[in-house]
Amino acid sequence: MGKWMPETWRLFSAAYGTRAGDASWNPACDLATPANGVIDRDDLAVLVGDWSQSRPNITVRRVEAQIELSWPFGILDEASDVTGPWTPVTGAAAPSQRITPSERCKFYRIR
């Protein structure tokens, strides 16, 4: 449960509403403090809070004349200025996208 990836959400949704001893029980999902042996909306609130604080990293590498951006999930935005305006990169989808540089400077973000 340490990384807030799509797998985390799948595990959490499978465990939601269970109690310790149930077939789908997963103690790693009992997130609210103190742990109470039930996966409920208090645990969901902790998961959502942690997830909203997390930011996926973008990995950048050069592939011949192109730049390859890699990220685990989310929508890739681009802008010519760090203050925006930001627009989605057409056709881009996780986990990677190759970009042919066309400007002196370009900014990317994941949302």
The contact set with Ca ion (CB under 5 A) reads: 30, 32, 36, 38, 43
In angstroms, give the least distance from the CB of 6 to Ca ion: 22
The smaller minimum CB distance to Ca ion, of residues 8 and 96, is found at 8
Diameter of the chain measured on Cα atoms: 59
Is the bond leading into 85 cis (omega within 30 degrees of zero)?
Answer: yes
Give the integer Cα–Cα distance in Å for 36 and 4. Answer: 22
The smaller minimum CB distance to Ca ion, of residues 38 and 94, is found at 38
For strand 66-70 and strand 59-63, is the pairing parallel, antiparallel, or unpaired? Answer: antiparallel
In angstroms, give the least distance from the CB of 5 to Ca ion: 21
In angstroms, give the least distance from the CB of 29 to Ca ion: 8
Phi, psi for residue 88 in degrees, rounded to 5: -60, 140
The smaller minimum CB distance to Ca ion, of residues 18 and 97, is found at 18
Q: Helix, strand, or coil here: 59?
A: strand
